[in-house]
Chain A
Amino acid sequence: MGNCLKAQSADDISLLRGSETQDGNDQALGPPPPYQERVAPRAPIYYPSPNVSRPANLLTEDEQVKIAKRLGLIVHLPCGVYDGCSKKGKECAICMCDFVMGESLRFLPCMHTYHKDCIDDWLMRSFTCPSCMEPVDAALLTSYETS
Protein backbone atom coordinates (compact mmCIF):
# COMPACT_ATOMS: atom_id res chain seq x y z
CA MET A 1 0.00 0.00 0.00
CA GLY A 2 2.74 2.37 0.99
CA ASN A 3 4.44 1.94 -2.31
CA CYS A 4 1.29 2.66 -4.25
CA LEU A 5 0.83 5.85 -2.26
CA LYS A 6 4.39 7.00 -2.89
CA ALA A 7 4.06 6.25 -6.55
CA GLN A 8 0.96 8.37 -6.72
CA SER A 9 2.44 11.36 -4.94
CA ALA A 10 5.40 11.27 -7.32
CA ASP A 11 2.96 11.44 -10.17
CA ASP A 12 1.14 14.35 -8.60
CA ILE A 13 4.36 16.34 -8.58
CA SER A 14 5.05 15.53 -12.19
CA LEU A 15 1.53 16.66 -13.02
CA LEU A 16 2.12 19.98 -11.26
CA ARG A 17 5.39 20.55 -13.05
CA GLY A 18 3.79 19.58 -16.30
CA SER A 19 1.07 22.18 -15.92
CA GLU A 20 3.63 24.87 -15.06
CA THR A 21 5.42 24.39 -18.32
CA GLN A 22 2.08 24.73 -20.06
CA ASP A 23 1.58 28.25 -18.62
CA GLY A 24 0.08 30.67 -21.07
CA ASN A 25 -1.42 27.86 -23.07
CA ASP A 26 -5.11 28.61 -23.61
CA GLN A 27 -5.95 24.99 -24.28
CA ALA A 28 -5.41 24.03 -20.65
CA LEU A 29 -7.91 21.22 -21.00
CA GLY A 30 -5.75 19.49 -23.56
CA PRO A 31 -2.99 17.82 -21.52
CA PRO A 32 -4.80 15.45 -19.06
CA PRO A 33 -5.37 12.38 -21.29
CA PRO A 34 -1.67 11.71 -22.03
CA TYR A 35 -0.81 11.97 -18.31
CA GLN A 36 -3.45 9.45 -17.47
CA GLU A 37 -1.94 7.13 -20.01
CA ARG A 38 1.39 7.46 -18.30
CA VAL A 39 -0.08 6.80 -14.85
CA ALA A 40 -2.07 3.76 -15.87
CA PRO A 41 0.76 1.31 -16.71
CA ARG A 42 2.51 1.84 -13.36
CA ALA A 43 2.82 -1.73 -12.06
CA PRO A 44 2.15 -2.70 -8.45
CA ILE A 45 5.24 -3.61 -6.41
CA TYR A 46 5.68 -7.17 -5.19
CA TYR A 47 8.02 -8.76 -2.65
CA PRO A 48 8.89 -12.21 -4.01
CA SER A 49 11.57 -12.92 -1.39
CA PRO A 50 13.30 -11.12 1.50
CA ASN A 51 15.05 -7.88 0.48
CA VAL A 52 13.59 -8.12 -3.04
CA SER A 53 10.93 -5.69 -4.22
CA ARG A 54 10.03 -5.44 -7.89
CA PRO A 55 7.29 -3.90 -10.00
CA ALA A 56 5.09 -6.56 -11.57
CA ASN A 57 6.58 -6.09 -15.05
CA LEU A 58 10.12 -6.93 -13.86
CA LEU A 59 9.33 -10.16 -12.06
CA THR A 60 11.05 -13.34 -13.20
CA GLU A 61 8.88 -16.20 -14.39
CA ASP A 62 9.35 -18.11 -11.12
CA GLU A 63 8.44 -15.04 -9.11
CA GLN A 64 5.31 -14.49 -11.20
CA VAL A 65 4.23 -18.06 -10.50
CA LYS A 66 4.93 -17.67 -6.79
CA ILE A 67 2.95 -14.43 -6.60
CA ALA A 68 0.06 -15.73 -8.67
CA LYS A 69 -0.20 -18.74 -6.36
CA ARG A 70 -0.06 -16.48 -3.31
CA LEU A 71 -2.80 -14.20 -4.64
CA GLY A 72 -4.89 -17.26 -5.38
CA LEU A 73 -4.50 -18.61 -1.84
CA ILE A 74 -5.27 -15.27 -0.19
CA VAL A 75 -8.53 -15.03 -2.13
CA HIS A 76 -9.61 -18.33 -0.58
CA LEU A 77 -9.13 -17.13 3.01
CA PRO A 78 -12.48 -16.30 4.58
CA CYS A 79 -13.31 -12.67 5.15
CA GLY A 80 -16.19 -10.78 6.62
CA VAL A 81 -17.33 -7.57 8.20
CA TYR A 82 -16.91 -6.67 11.87
CA ASP A 83 -20.34 -6.87 13.46
CA GLY A 84 -19.35 -5.66 16.92
CA CYS A 85 -20.06 -8.96 18.66
CA SER A 86 -17.27 -11.05 17.21
CA LYS A 87 -15.57 -13.12 19.87
CA LYS A 88 -12.42 -13.47 17.78
CA GLY A 89 -10.62 -10.49 19.25
CA LYS A 90 -11.40 -6.80 19.03
CA GLU A 91 -8.07 -5.43 17.88
CA CYS A 92 -5.95 -5.84 14.76
CA ALA A 93 -2.50 -6.91 15.96
CA ILE A 94 -0.85 -5.29 12.93
CA CYS A 95 -2.10 -1.69 13.20
CA MET A 96 -3.03 -2.07 16.90
CA CYS A 97 -6.35 -0.37 16.23
CA ASP A 98 -9.69 -1.63 17.53
CA PHE A 99 -12.04 -3.07 14.94
CA VAL A 100 -14.82 -0.67 14.03
CA MET A 101 -18.30 -1.78 12.99
CA GLY A 102 -18.46 -2.39 9.28
CA GLU A 103 -14.70 -2.80 8.70
CA SER A 104 -13.57 -5.67 6.45
CA LEU A 105 -11.81 -8.45 8.33
CA ARG A 106 -9.83 -11.49 7.23
CA PHE A 107 -9.92 -14.74 9.22
CA LEU A 108 -6.83 -16.96 9.07
CA PRO A 109 -7.08 -20.74 9.46
CA CYS A 110 -5.34 -20.45 12.86
CA MET A 111 -8.37 -18.40 14.00
CA HIS A 112 -6.51 -15.08 14.21
CA THR A 113 -8.38 -12.09 12.78
CA TYR A 114 -6.99 -8.92 11.22
CA HIS A 115 -8.14 -5.99 9.12
CA LYS A 116 -8.34 -7.30 5.56
CA ASP A 117 -6.08 -4.53 4.21
CA CYS A 118 -3.49 -4.98 6.98
CA ILE A 119 -3.14 -8.76 6.65
CA ASP A 120 -3.39 -8.92 2.85
CA ASP A 121 -0.41 -6.56 2.50
CA TRP A 122 1.51 -8.68 4.99
CA LEU A 123 0.61 -12.04 3.40
CA MET A 124 2.05 -10.86 0.08
CA ARG A 125 5.40 -10.50 1.87
CA SER A 126 5.25 -13.51 4.16
CA PHE A 127 2.64 -16.24 4.28
CA THR A 128 2.81 -16.50 8.07
CA CYS A 129 0.34 -15.52 10.76
CA PRO A 130 1.93 -12.57 12.61
CA SER A 131 0.46 -13.64 15.94
CA CYS A 132 1.21 -17.38 16.11
CA MET A 133 3.82 -17.65 13.32
CA GLU A 134 1.81 -20.54 11.85
CA PRO A 135 2.59 -20.83 8.12
CA VAL A 136 -0.74 -20.03 6.49
CA ASP A 137 -0.40 -22.35 3.50
CA ALA A 138 0.25 -25.45 5.61
CA ALA A 139 -2.76 -24.65 7.76
CA LEU A 140 -4.83 -23.93 4.66
CA LEU A 141 -3.96 -27.28 3.11
CA THR A 142 -4.81 -29.25 6.24
CA SER A 143 -8.11 -27.42 6.64
CA TYR A 144 -8.96 -28.32 3.04
CA GLU A 145 -8.11 -31.95 3.70
CA THR A 146 -10.29 -32.21 6.78
CA SER A 147 -13.26 -30.46 5.24
Chain B
Amino acid sequence: MAIEQSFLLLKKQLAELNKNPVEGFSAGLLDDEDMYKWEVLIYGPPDTLFEGGFFKAHLIFPKEYPLKPPKMIFQTEIFHPNIAKDGSVCISILHEPGDDKYGYEKASERWLPVHTVETILVSVISMLADPNDESPANVDAAKIWRENPDEFKKRVAKCVRKSQDAFE
Protein backbone atom coordinates (compact mmCIF):
# COMPACT_ATOMS: atom_id res chain seq x y z
CA MET B 1 0.00 0.00 0.00
CA ALA B 2 2.78 2.43 0.89
CA ILE B 3 4.43 2.19 -2.50
CA GLU B 4 1.18 2.94 -4.24
CA GLN B 5 0.51 5.80 -1.84
CA SER B 6 3.86 7.51 -2.49
CA PHE B 7 3.43 7.11 -6.24
CA LEU B 8 -0.06 8.60 -6.23
CA LEU B 9 0.97 11.43 -3.94
CA LEU B 10 3.89 12.42 -6.19
CA LYS B 11 1.73 12.09 -9.31
CA LYS B 12 -0.84 14.38 -7.77
CA GLN B 13 1.82 16.99 -6.96
CA LEU B 14 3.25 16.84 -10.47
CA ALA B 15 -0.17 17.40 -12.02
CA GLU B 16 -0.85 20.26 -9.62
CA LEU B 17 2.51 21.95 -10.34
CA ASN B 18 1.95 21.60 -14.10
CA LYS B 19 -1.48 23.16 -13.78
CA ASN B 20 -0.55 25.90 -11.31
CA PRO B 21 3.19 26.64 -11.55
CA VAL B 22 4.71 28.27 -8.47
CA GLU B 23 6.86 31.39 -8.71
CA GLY B 24 10.57 30.88 -8.13
CA PHE B 25 11.06 27.40 -9.58
CA SER B 26 9.91 24.91 -12.18
CA ALA B 27 9.69 21.18 -11.56
CA GLY B 28 9.34 18.00 -13.58
CA LEU B 29 10.44 14.38 -13.68
CA LEU B 30 14.05 13.54 -14.46
CA ASP B 31 12.83 10.51 -16.37
CA ASP B 32 9.16 10.19 -17.39
CA GLU B 33 9.21 6.54 -16.31
CA ASP B 34 10.30 7.25 -12.75
CA MET B 35 7.97 9.17 -10.45
CA TYR B 36 10.57 9.14 -7.65
CA LYS B 37 13.26 11.25 -9.39
CA TRP B 38 12.49 14.90 -9.99
CA GLU B 39 14.46 17.66 -11.61
CA VAL B 40 13.84 21.22 -10.49
CA LEU B 41 15.16 24.54 -11.71
CA ILE B 42 15.42 27.24 -9.06
CA TYR B 43 15.60 30.87 -10.09
CA GLY B 44 17.97 32.80 -7.84
CA PRO B 45 15.62 34.76 -5.58
CA PRO B 46 15.38 38.52 -6.28
CA ASP B 47 17.21 40.90 -3.93
CA THR B 48 19.67 38.20 -2.87
CA LEU B 49 23.23 37.45 -3.98
CA PHE B 50 21.83 34.57 -6.03
CA GLU B 51 19.53 36.78 -8.13
CA GLY B 52 19.70 36.01 -11.84
CA GLY B 53 21.10 32.49 -11.40
CA PHE B 54 19.52 29.27 -12.68
CA PHE B 55 20.19 26.39 -10.33
CA LYS B 56 19.32 22.87 -11.33
CA ALA B 57 18.73 20.27 -8.60
CA HIS B 58 17.48 16.71 -8.26
CA LEU B 59 14.97 15.51 -5.69
CA ILE B 60 15.19 11.78 -4.97
CA PHE B 61 12.17 10.41 -3.11
CA PRO B 62 12.25 7.18 -1.08
CA LYS B 63 9.48 4.62 -1.55
CA GLU B 64 8.43 5.44 2.05
CA TYR B 65 7.59 9.04 1.11
CA PRO B 66 5.80 10.90 2.74
CA LEU B 67 6.93 9.17 5.94
CA LYS B 68 10.56 9.76 4.95
CA PRO B 69 12.04 12.87 3.31
CA PRO B 70 13.57 13.06 -0.17
CA LYS B 71 17.22 13.93 -0.77
CA MET B 72 17.94 17.12 -2.65
CA ILE B 73 21.16 17.53 -4.61
CA PHE B 74 22.11 20.60 -6.62
CA GLN B 75 23.52 19.76 -10.03
CA THR B 76 24.62 23.31 -10.70
CA GLU B 77 27.66 24.43 -8.73
CA ILE B 78 26.47 26.64 -5.88
CA PHE B 79 28.43 28.29 -3.05
CA HIS B 80 26.33 28.30 0.11
CA PRO B 81 26.92 27.39 3.78
CA ASN B 82 24.04 24.88 3.82
CA ILE B 83 24.84 23.12 0.55
CA ALA B 84 27.68 20.59 0.61
CA LYS B 85 30.35 20.68 -2.09
CA ASP B 86 28.71 17.66 -3.76
CA GLY B 87 25.47 19.65 -3.99
CA SER B 88 23.51 17.94 -1.16
CA VAL B 89 21.18 20.28 0.63
CA CYS B 90 21.41 20.21 4.42
CA ILE B 91 18.35 21.75 6.02
CA SER B 92 16.51 20.47 9.06
CA ILE B 93 13.19 19.87 7.30
CA LEU B 94 14.93 17.26 5.10
CA HIS B 95 16.33 15.41 8.11
CA GLU B 96 14.79 12.07 9.05
CA PRO B 97 11.90 12.39 11.49
CA GLY B 98 11.87 11.62 15.17
CA ASP B 99 13.57 12.68 18.39
CA ASP B 100 17.23 11.90 18.71
CA LYS B 101 18.64 11.48 22.18
CA TYR B 102 21.24 14.21 21.70
CA GLY B 103 18.52 16.80 21.22
CA TYR B 104 20.31 18.08 18.12
CA GLU B 105 17.04 19.07 16.51
CA LYS B 106 13.50 19.01 17.80
CA ALA B 107 11.08 16.63 16.08
CA SER B 108 9.03 19.63 14.97
CA GLU B 109 12.01 21.06 13.06
CA ARG B 110 12.61 17.86 11.16
CA TRP B 111 10.78 16.22 8.25
CA LEU B 112 6.99 16.15 8.40
CA PRO B 113 4.79 14.09 6.06
CA VAL B 114 2.83 17.17 5.02
CA HIS B 115 5.83 18.55 3.11
CA THR B 116 5.50 18.61 -0.67
CA VAL B 117 7.84 19.51 -3.53
CA GLU B 118 6.44 23.02 -3.24
CA THR B 119 7.00 23.46 0.51
CA ILE B 120 10.50 21.96 0.26
CA LEU B 121 11.47 24.36 -2.52
CA VAL B 122 9.98 27.33 -0.70
CA SER B 123 12.23 26.43 2.27
CA VAL B 124 15.28 25.95 0.06
CA ILE B 125 14.68 29.30 -1.68
CA SER B 126 14.40 31.03 1.68
CA MET B 127 17.59 29.26 2.78
CA LEU B 128 19.40 30.74 -0.25
CA ALA B 129 18.42 34.21 0.92
CA ASP B 130 19.14 33.49 4.55
CA PRO B 131 21.93 30.98 5.28
CA ASN B 132 22.06 29.24 8.65
CA ASP B 133 25.66 28.95 9.83
CA GLU B 134 24.91 26.92 12.97
CA SER B 135 25.30 23.59 11.21
CA PRO B 136 27.05 24.28 7.92
CA ALA B 137 27.37 21.62 5.23
CA ASN B 138 30.10 23.63 3.50
CA VAL B 139 32.40 24.85 6.27
CA ASP B 140 34.50 27.03 3.93
CA ALA B 141 31.41 28.79 2.63
CA ALA B 142 30.15 29.33 6.19
CA LYS B 143 33.50 30.75 7.31
CA ILE B 144 33.75 33.11 4.34
CA TRP B 145 30.10 34.14 4.73
CA ARG B 146 30.74 35.05 8.36
CA GLU B 147 34.17 36.58 8.14
CA ASN B 148 34.52 38.03 4.68
CA PRO B 149 31.21 39.13 3.14
CA ASP B 150 32.91 40.73 0.11
CA GLU B 151 34.70 37.52 -0.78
CA PHE B 152 31.42 35.58 -0.26
CA LYS B 153 29.66 37.95 -2.65
CA LYS B 154 32.40 37.37 -5.25
CA ARG B 155 32.25 33.58 -4.93
CA VAL B 156 28.43 33.57 -5.28
CA ALA B 157 28.56 35.97 -8.24
CA LYS B 158 30.91 33.54 -9.96
CA CYS B 159 28.39 30.69 -9.47
CA VAL B 160 25.56 32.86 -10.76
CA ARG B 161 27.53 33.75 -13.92
CA LYS B 162 28.48 30.12 -14.49
CA SER B 163 24.85 29.02 -14.04
CA GLN B 164 23.74 31.59 -16.63
CA ASP B 165 26.36 30.40 -19.12
CA ALA B 166 24.96 26.89 -18.87
CA PHE B 167 21.59 28.13 -20.09
CA GLU B 168 22.77 30.17 -23.05
Q: Which residues of A contact B (CB under 8 A)?
A: 1-3, 5-6, 47-51, 93-96, 117-118, 121-122, 125-128, 130-131, 133-135
B contact residues, range:
20 to 34
Interface residues of B in 109-126 (CB under 8 A from A): 110, 112-114
Q: Contact: A128 with B108, CB < 8 Å?
A: yes
**13 interchain pairs, CB-CB under 8 A:** A2-B64, A5-B1, A47-B97, A49-B99, A50-B96, A93-B113, A95-B9, A95-B66, A117-B1, A121-B67, A126-B97, A127-B107, A134-B108
Since A93-B114, A126-B97 are in contact, a sample of 15 more A-B pairs with Cβ atoms closer than 8 Å, ordered by chain A residue number, is A2-B1, A2-B2, A2-B6, A3-B64, A5-B2, A5-B3, A49-B98, A49-B99, A50-B95, A96-B9, A121-B2, A122-B67, A122-B97, A126-B107, A131-B114
- Best-buried of B8, B63, B96 by chain A (most CB within 10 Å): B96
Using CB atoms, name the residue of chain A closest to B112. A130
Residue-wise interface mask of B (1-45) relative to A, using a CB-CB cutoff of 8 A (1 in contact, 0 not): 111011011001000000000000000000000000000000000
A2 touches B63 (CB 8 A): yes
The CA-CA distance from A1 to B101 in the complex, in Å, is: 25
Q: What separation, in Å, do the CA atoms of A118 and B155 have in the docked complex?
A: 45
Secondary structure dominating the interface of B: loop
B147 in the interface (beta carbon within 8 A): no
Docked complex: B53-68 residues within 8 A CB-CB of A: 63-64, 66-67
B168 at the interface (CB under 8 A from A): no
Contacts A5-B2, A96-B12, A122-B113; is A128 near B107 (CB within 8 Å)?
Answer: yes
* Bound complex: CA A50 to CA B68 (Å): 10
Known: A49-B100, A130-B113, A131-B114. A95 touches B107 (CB 8 A): no
> In the complex, what residues of B have CB within 8 A of residue A117's CB?
1
Q: How far is the CA of A93 from the CA of B115 in the complex (A)?
A: 9
CA distance A48 to B97 in the complex (A): 10
